Amino acid sequence: MLYRMDEAFEAFDETPGRTVGMSIEIWRETCWCVALTVLAVAGMMMVGGCGEDSQRIDVDSEDLSLTAGVSSKDFRTVCYQMSQSLIRLPQIQKAHTPPKIAFTKVTNNSDELLDTDDFLYKMRTELIKNSQGKMLFLDRDMTKQLMDEQMLKDAGERTGHGGTLMGADYFLAGRIESIRHARGRETTNYMRFSFRLTQASTGAIVWEDDYEMKTYHKSGVYDR
């Protein structure tokens, strides 16, 4: 466009008359200044639009998720509520000595991609912070050894001091399940997080609780 304007100016310059030539020259310079200004503003807008924006937000704020699933708020709520329920257990509150708890695993039977270990680690953190020393926790890396111990107990064998290796009193485990329904661009997803505490010596379940949630998602026309 600027090239064609320049050609037009050259054509006007051939017009006789000094006054007309000077007017055209001024017009020409003005148009060039306006064109350069427009290009400069457009460039600044492009650079500004490509800039990054990062900031700290609350950990319980809603995630900008494209699908219905587990958010950070859901994760924190599950772990907090299950921990509070477990702390109130009479076998914990009335125990003469703090029971030793070993974490086993959380089985994920849902269609969500989740790191199930994170639930146990977060629950352990909540329990240690809020149980006031009424519970002790064994290192999770020793879980396999503790499970082998349980098998030996079931077989009538005894290992270690007092018949218990590492002294595990309870095993904490969990399970995640989901039911998803989809119709057109709409999806609902029901999820259940359940946890249980099992007595190591008898295999009796002394505590179990769950957390339920349901999400709805409607995809955009071009998301499918």
Segment 34-60, tens digit of pLDDT:
666 767 666 665 555 555 666 766 666
- Residue ranges covered by each domain of the chain: 2-42, 72-218
**Class of 72-218 per CATH?**
alpha beta
Give the whole-number percent of the chain exceeding pLDDT 70. 56
pTM score, whole prediction = 0.64
Write out pLDDT tens, residues 72-126.
899 999 999 999 999 999 999 999 999 999 998 899 999 888 999 999 999 999 9
Within 13 A of 119's CA, how many CA atoms are on the CB side? 27
